[in-house]
């Protein structure tokens, strides 16, 4: 893709690059051959990673004014955004016991969905895989298929977007891991849902596939990664209604909850045989749509959604405690 920059604007760009700010790039960078695709970093704004100052210094030393076209091999100027390996402490709410996990964190706002290998350290006798999944990623599933000929990792998930926010652009930035263990993102493409869509369901799906060849002790293995992430429109729930029914289908109790105030646990009444979970949503035209789900005694939890401030409908779980 070509970009034209006029001389007056160019001066401003040079000043900005000298202050340490990064400017937007158009084309997505690519990982070197030994780097492995790890997943995606979804952002609301494009990642500003193109090295304009380096490009100008290398290609426009004799510039005398006029129109400039950024063209040719710009790969050496495509920047990377590195994640930081950090330690997070987890606390068990019931026992109060704590544990520590290591995770890769990017220094920007975004929805991370990737898996990466944490190399062996003094504290850990061997390396291990860790995964990062923003709460906005619903129905996420990461599968590891390890074999002598190579490893295959598959990631799938869905982001549910409310209709009032479908016009927003989401940037799908590929995440890679280098042979030295470092994790980084490169600029990707932006996608917008169909604002004319009037029904719930997947509207856009993006799949990235990549393979990397690794040679260890003279043996060659081929590792592959596949990432499929969907953007789907969802009318945000207005209320959740829990109906407790006995074995004769008689209503025992009815409780309403705000979607963002669902309890972590619901103790089911002694005579309850099953639950009916009603989700009330309002369509664009104002019509109320009610979906129902039945949970019997085999259900350990129920799933509902709530609307986040950024227009994402996030899945949540409520544990069910059934009477013995």
Distant-in-sequence, close-in-space partners of 103: CB < 8 Å, separation ≥ 6:
85, 86, 88, 130, 132
In the predicted structure, residue 13 carries a pLDDT above the cut 60: no
| pTM of the predicted model as reported, rounded to 2 decimal places | 0.77
Residue 243 in contact with residue 275, Cβ under 8 Å? yes
Confidence at residue 23, expressed as pLDDT on a 0 to 100 scale: 30
Task: Taking residues 183-203, report their average pLDDT.
Answer: 80
Predicted confidence (pLDDT) per residue in 261-293, tens digit: 999 999 999 999 999 999 999 887 778 999 999
Confidence at residue 59, expressed as pLDDT on a 0 to 100 scale: 67
Which range is least confidently modeled, 54-58, 69-73, 235-239, 297-301?
A: 69-73
Confidence at residue 11, expressed as pLDDT on a 0 to 100 scale: 34
Give ∠ CA 243-245-251 in degrees, rounded to 5: 75
Predicted confidence (pLDDT) per residue in 55-77, tens digit: 677 666 555 555 655 555 666 66
In the predicted structure, residue 220 carries a pLDDT above the cut 90: no
Q: Greater confidence, 30 or 53?
A: 53
Highest mean pLDDT among 50-54, 88-92, 200-204, 271-275: 271-275
Confidence at residue 119, expressed as pLDDT on a 0 to 100 scale: 79
Confidence at residue 76, expressed as pLDDT on a 0 to 100 scale: 66
Task: Taking residues 304-321, report their average pLDDT.
Answer: 95
Confidence at residue 39, expressed as pLDDT on a 0 to 100 scale: 95
Confidence at residue 155, expressed as pLDDT on a 0 to 100 scale: 96
Angle between helices 52-59 and 7-18 (to 10 degrees): 120
DSSP 8-state code for residue 23? B
Write out the two tokens for 182: 């470092």
Confidence at residue 102, expressed as pLDDT on a 0 to 100 scale: 82
Confidence at residue 277, expressed as pLDDT on a 0 to 100 scale: 98
Please name every residue paired with 243 in a beta bridge, in sequence order, or none if there are none: 254, 276
Task: Taking residues 212-239, report their average pLDDT.
Answer: 88
In the predicted structure, residue 22 carries a pLDDT above the cut 50: no
Please name every residue paired with 215 in a beta bridge, in sequence order, or none if there are none: 220
Distant-in-sequence, close-in-space partners of 324: CB < 8 Å, separation ≥ 6:
none
Residue 308 in contact with residue 137, Cβ under 8 Å? no
Residue 32, SS3 per DSSP: coil
Task: Taking residues 132-156, report their average pLDDT.
Answer: 92
Burial class of 99 by CB neighbour count within 10 A (0 to 12, 13 to 18, 19+):
exposed
In the predicted structure, residue 138 carries a pLDDT above the cut 80: yes
β 219-233/150-161 pair status: parallel
DSSP 8-state code for residue 122? S
Burial class of 212 by CB neighbour count within 10 A (0 to 12, 13 to 18, 19+):
buried
Confidence at residue 4, expressed as pLDDT on a 0 to 100 scale: 35
Percentage of the chain modeled with pLDDT above 70: 78
């Amino acid at each position: 893709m070509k970009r034209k920059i006029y001389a007056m604007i160019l001066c401003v760009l040079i000043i900005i690059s000298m202050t340490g700010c990064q400017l937007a790039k158009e084309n997505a960078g690519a990982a070197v051959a030994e780097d492995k695709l790890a997943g995606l970093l979804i952002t609301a704004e494009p990642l500003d990673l193109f090295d304009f100052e380096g490009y100008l210094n290398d290609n426009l030393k004799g510039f005398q004014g006029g129109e400039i076209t950024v063209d040719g091999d710009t790969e050496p100027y495509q920047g990377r955004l590195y994640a930081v390996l950090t330690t997070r402490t987890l606390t068990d709410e019931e026992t109060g016991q704590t544990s520590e996990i290591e995770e890769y964190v990017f220094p920007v706002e975004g929805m991370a969905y990737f898996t990466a290998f944490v190399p062996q350290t003094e504290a850990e006798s061997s390396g291990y895989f860790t995964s990062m999944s923003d709460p906005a990623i619903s129905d996420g599933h990461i599968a590891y298929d390890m074999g002598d000929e190579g490893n295959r990792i598959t990631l799938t998930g869905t982001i549910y977007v409310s209709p009032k926010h479908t016009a927003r652009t989401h940037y799908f930035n590929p995440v890679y891991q280098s042979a030295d263990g470092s994790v980084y993102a490169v600029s990707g493409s932006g996608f917008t849902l169909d604002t004319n869509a009037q029904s719930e369901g997947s509207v856009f799906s993006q799949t990235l596939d990549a393979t990397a060849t690794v040679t260890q002790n003279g043996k060659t293995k081929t590792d592959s990664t596949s990432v499929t992430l969907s953007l789907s429109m969802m009318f945000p729930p207005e209320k959740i209604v829990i109906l407790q029914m006995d074995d004769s289908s008689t209503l025992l109790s009815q409780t309403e909850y705000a979607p963002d105030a669902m309890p972590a646990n619901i103790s089911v009444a002694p005579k309850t045989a099953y639950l009916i979970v009603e989700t009330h949503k309002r369509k664009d035209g104002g019509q109320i749509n009610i979906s129902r789900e039945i949970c019997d005694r085999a259900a350990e939890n129920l799933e509902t959604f709530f609307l986040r401030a950024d227009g994402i409908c996030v899945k949540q779980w409520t544990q069910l405690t059934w009477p013995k």
